[in-house]
Structure 1
Amino acid sequence: MRIPGPEPRADGGVGAITAAGGLHTYQLRLHAEYGPVVRFQLPGSETAVSVADPVLLEATAHIDKRPERLFEFLAPLCEAGNLQVLDAEEHTPWRRLLLSVLAGRPSHERHFARFTELTTALADRWAERGVHEPVALQKDLTALTLRMICRFALGGDVPDSDRVIAAFEDVLTEYLGRLYQAPVPGTPEERAVRADEALALLRATVDGVVAARGSGGRADTSDLIGALVEAGESPARIRDTVMVTLLAAHHTTGVAVSWTLYLLGQHPEVAERVADELDRVLGDRPAPDYADLRQLTRLDMALKESMRLYPPGPYGARETTEALVLGDYEIPAGATVFYPFWAVHMNPDHWPEPERFLPERFTPAEVAKRPKLAYVPFGIGPRGCEGAALAMVEAELVLAVLLKRFRFRPVPGHEVEPVERFVLWAADDIRMTLHPRGTEGEPTR
């Protein structure tokens, strides 16, 4: 049976994607019109099939190959080969090494106190501003999570995080613009110079932090650099791994926390239930211990529901190495299988009233009713996000500290519009006012 989808366009589909506001919204429209499996044009791929049915996704979960052309925009970050498209033979041991650090409880616990200090420092700075000056959540929280992942990966801080974040944005904007032929300010020469300068800054920053660690003795394998050194990785591969890890971790975690606070600000009754739980679990303590996170079930559900509605990374992709049958359709070898996480999360067959913010969807009983891949904020299979466990620890800690201390309210008249910028960003940030909670856990009235 022929896979349904829009008629081919002479521009290779670029115009349709641009008109929709990016791939994430384009996928929502495609699946609403054509069903759970859609054939469409994707720049960089001759045959692309998007799958929004979590049951059918299971038949693709074993694929361990990414389409190289779709990830070319990340190649400039790497000197020893694009880490996003390593072949399976090289990718498997590299992934195993990353998981040994990023997913390991010992390394999480080792850095937890420092993460708490960094978060508390941000909360202190916000408190000094008072209730009349809104905060820009995504700007401040991505800076915070960059500092956190630098501490985790490198054992130190980035001296000028604002410049580093801006450099990441310059590189991504330029290379994503090339991939999708999207309009980017400036002439091609100006953009190339800006991207080259940004990349040089990023590499110098990483080199500087790595050099500051010094050398001598057996490496501490509970942090990323130590594990890479101990495994005998080359200097270029160590730098590449750190660069990609910083990029992925600081954007996605900061954005996930921002969207969660935004949704809780729109649903103060849910926020109060989360705050009540924090008061019950933490008492008078301003921040959780690592072991406390397991007891923060309402907070955990609110975070997961926000990542359902606003998945930090809105899509993924694999390349078939052999023909694949998905329901009534056959996908040829060499095709791009596109994972539209946002469309999967908005599938009404598995998420009734999908646009509503309902954290109770993530009680154990409700989770058991759904297919495993109905919720995929970190991707699936052997190319899923290695830092998922660390991201959840960071996000829950940050939310716990901030929600124990503040109530968040939307700024009247400020429109929050999700846009595609490598992650699911807000076009003009998410601006909110902060209201200190009263003593003994009671909100200030």
Structure 2
Amino acid sequence: MLDLRRDPLGVYLDARRNHGGVARISAGPPGVRAEFYLVSSPEGAQQVLATQAANFRKENAIYQEIRESFGNGLLTAQDDDYRRQRRLVQPLFTQRRVNGYADAIGVEAEALAERWTAVAGGAADGVVDAVEEMSRFALRTVARILFGADVEDAIRAVRSSFPLLGHYTVSRGFSPVRIPRDWPTPGNRQAMAAKRELYRVCDEIIARRRTRDGERETDDLLGLLAAARGEDGEQLDPAELRDQVLVFLLAGHETTSTSLTFALQLLGLHPEEQARARAEADELLGDGRRPRASDLAELPYLTQVLKEAMRLYPAAPAIGRRSVAESVVDGVVIPAGADVLVVPYSVHRHPLHWAEPERFDPERFTPEREAARHRYAWFPFGGGPRACIGQHFSMLESVLGLAVLLRAFEVETVDAAVQLGQGVTLEVRGPVRIRLTPRQRVGGAREAVPATE
């Protein structure tokens, strides 16, 4: 139990090394002991998430706590609720629709590059915390796409309330004993105040939008969600609309910010790979123009960099389920009612599928090498019928955002060692500092500006 609290990711890796693709963990004192199964092989992951998905449901303690804190949106809904929500929301996440968000991504990436230019010339010696900076960028981007002109209200609420409510949710989800949420303890009161603030801001924006726009479809995602209709005219009611917004805010900024944080940190440790990625961005965007959605296909090496960062640091390091029927997973019988964790963090480091798994190597993700691997050797967006609906959006934002930043700066990593944990998403315990060197344009291209200039 203490090991799981101190270093859950290390426990997952040790379990796979010592016990294979499926391991049973028993932790805690008698009477409140927790028992669950770790699945750490591509074959097992595919069985739980895809081929036997009906036997494994989102009914474990962590999902129950997420529902209580952030509503019953696509992330946590089940059965008819989920199918109805997915029917209504899916058309808003087609590739064509998501590509329409590229301009908002470019606007926020350019604003960040401009702010970093001021930081690089200041007294901080050009050092920023990539965790903080990428969280801010990803939150501003998803909030702009969701809310349009109402972006600032949402950002203030999320930045003040999400961290507290997220830690509270995870702590309860992994605790063997959970006191009722309505007991007036200091932790409960703080969490409920954060929840009320989040709900209040979302409800006010939704009400304001309905009053202002009526039935008119707008370009931002909230307007599209409010206008979405099923074949029989069904639509999301105000509470469901708020739940979807909260899930998109949670999943849409924490996952992308994690991928971008570690892409920058890894490139700052590997100057040759950084130079190659920058050359690709310069060739495509060297004229200083804002990136377009069509540029994603023209940035294959940057895409490989992001995929390799997500291999080493998947934003969802473990994916929880509860078995509803006895099942055989990777040769091991898992009884009905058992808690199961599918562990991308371990699978992504499996030496049978990844040579030198701890080494950063974007060449692992050439089309030929991807095609030769097991489908579930890499699955940062989950898989099967509950795969992440926003994966194309995440890749579009990450690749285009990284291209804009590398075009403007050279990056050097200050914090090579990073302590990790597990929250609702991958938890970075401490800063990930990088040093920025601005580049100046020379003959249509850019070169680094010496720190003394």
Distance apart, 1:82 and its partner CA: 6.5
1:200 corresponds to which residue? Answer: 196
Choose the corresponding residue for 1:274, options 271, 274, 277: 277
CA gap of 1:286–1:432, structure 2 versus 1, over 3 A, is farther
Task: Quote the Cα distance in structure 1 between the aligned partners of 2:143 and 2:221.
Answer: 10
1:36 corresponds to which residue? Answer: 21
Kindly indicate whether residue 64 of structure 2 is the aligned counterpart of residue 72 of structure 1. Answer: yes
CA gap of 1:173–1:46, structure 2 versus 1, over 3 A, is closer
Task: Quote the Cα distance in structure 2 between the aligned partners of 1:142 and 1:53.
Answer: 31
Distance apart, 1:255 and its partner CA: 1.4
Gaps of 5+ in 2: 177-182, 230-234
1:355 corresponds to which residue? Answer: 358
1:49 corresponds to which residue? Answer: 37
Distance apart, 1:78 and its partner CA: 4.4
2:340 corresponds to which residue? Answer: 337
1:7 corresponds to which residue? Answer: none
1:89 corresponds to which residue? Answer: 80
1:425 corresponds to which residue? Answer: 427
2:143 corresponds to which residue? Answer: 150
Task: Quote the Cα distance in structure 2 between the aligned partners of 1:342 and 1:320.
Answer: 21
Secondary structure (helix, strand or coil) at the match of 2:346 reads helix
Distance apart, 1:162 and its partner CA: 5.1
Task: Quote the Cα distance in structure 1 between the aligned partners of 2:78 and 2:27.
Answer: 22
Choose the corresponding residue for 2:312, options 309, 313, 332: 309
Task: Quote the Cα distance in structure 2 between the aligned partners of 1:363 and 1:39.
Answer: 35
CA gap of 1:433–1:200, structure 2 versus 1, over 3 A, is same
CA gap of 1:45–1:383, structure 2 versus 1, over 3 A, is farther
Secondary structure (helix, strand or coil) at the match of 2:185 reads helix
Distance apart, 1:342 and its partner CA: 0.2
1:138 corresponds to which residue? Answer: 131
User: Greater CA deviation, 152-161 or 111-120?
Assistant: 152-161
Choose the corresponding residue for 1:176, options 164, 170, 174: 170
Matched to 1:419, the amino acid is G
What do residues 337-358 of structure 1 show as CA deviations (whole Å, max 9, x unaligned)?
Answer: 3211100100000001000000
CA gap of 1:25–1:285, structure 2 versus 1, over 3 A, is same
Determine if contact 1:106/1:222 at 8 Å carries over to the other structure: no
Aligned length: 424
Gaps of 5+ in 1: 1-13
CA gap of 1:179–1:223, structure 2 versus 1, over 3 A, is closer
Kindly indicate whether residue 442 of structure 2 is the aligned counterpart of residue 442 of structure 1. Answer: no
After TM superposition, where is structure 1 displaced by more than 6 Å over at least 4 residues in a row?
Answer: 42-46
Distance apart, 1:292 and its partner CA: 1.1
2:179 corresponds to which residue? Answer: none
2:2 corresponds to which residue? Answer: 15
Report the TM-score when normalising by structure 1.
0.88
Secondary structure (helix, strand or coil) at the match of 2:359 reads coil
Task: Quote the Cα distance in structure 2 between the aligned partners of 1:68 and 1:56.
Answer: 19
Secondary structure (helix, strand or coil) at the match of 1:378 reads coil
Determine if contact 2:216/2:227 at 8 Å carries over to the other structure: no
Determine if contact 2:102/2:291 at 8 Å carries over to the other structure: no
Choose the corresponding residue for 2:323, options 296, 320, 324: 320
Task: Quote the Cα distance in structure 2 between the aligned partners of 1:251 and 1:192.
Answer: 23
Determine if contact 1:143/1:162 at 8 Å carries over to the other structure: no
Secondary structure (helix, strand or coil) at the match of 1:338 reads strand
CA gap of 1:179–1:95, structure 2 versus 1, over 3 A, is same
Determine if contact 1:313/1:377 at 8 Å carries over to the other structure: yes
Matched to 2:431, the amino acid is D
CA gap of 1:283–1:221, structure 2 versus 1, over 3 A, is closer
Choose the corresponding residue for 1:159, options 142, 146, 153: 153
Task: Quote the Cα distance in structure 2 between the aligned partners of 1:143 and 1:212.
Answer: 25
Matched to 2:152, the amino acid is V
1:216 corresponds to which residue? Answer: 214
CA gap of 1:296–1:238, structure 2 versus 1, over 3 A, is same
